Structure 1
């Protein structure tokens, strides 16, 4: 689950950096638009830059779900 933590922290870091850059523009006078702009812009940046990390995260989650399902199926087989 290290990949999940890394991806999440990278997304948060990109959002904070984008917000800081937009703070230097006249958008600082409209905080709602500043946050919405930062959200959209950081989403696009994250989509482009964090693709390998997103793939690693989804593989880790899929593997964990697969392992839990296997253990559940094995425990059901033991009950019968």
Structure 2
């Protein structure tokens, strides 16, 4: 927590110092505050990278410790749904990666008869 707190205090101190200097130059209080925020952000990005990195590493380590204490996240609903799918797959038998034929697909259509003694090519030609 110390690196994060130190980084925050340095940034806040930088903002206050810039705000005070800008108000001394005769800028309005609000405009000086906005410009001080912008300038302090740019200065902290350019020059305070070591402090920022230390704070970020400390924050990440604390987050990882919290995640370890909580344990793995288990979605009970997803586990239940997966078990239902596994049971249904066992009842249907093993799948070999191919899908069963579609009952509304072309396999379920009846065969065309000879009709009036015309072949399939002749029938298609007439339809055109």
TM-score of the aligned structures, taking structure 1 as reference length: 0.83
TM-score by length of 2: 0.53
CA shift, 1:2, in A, is: 0.5
What is the CA-CA distance between 1:24 and the residue it aligns to? 2.0
Q: Which runs of 4+ in 1 moved over 3 A?
A: none
1:26 deviates by 2.4
Corresponding pairs, count = 73
Pairwise CA RMSD: 1.5
Partner of 1:65: 63
Residue 40 of structure 2, aligned match among 39, 42, 59: 42
User: Any stretches of 5+ residues in structure 1 without a counterpart?
Assistant: none
Q: Whose helix fraction is larger, Structure 1's or Structure 2's?
A: 1
Q: Which has the larger radius of gyration?
A: 2
**Structure 2: where are the runs of 5+ without partners?**
75-128
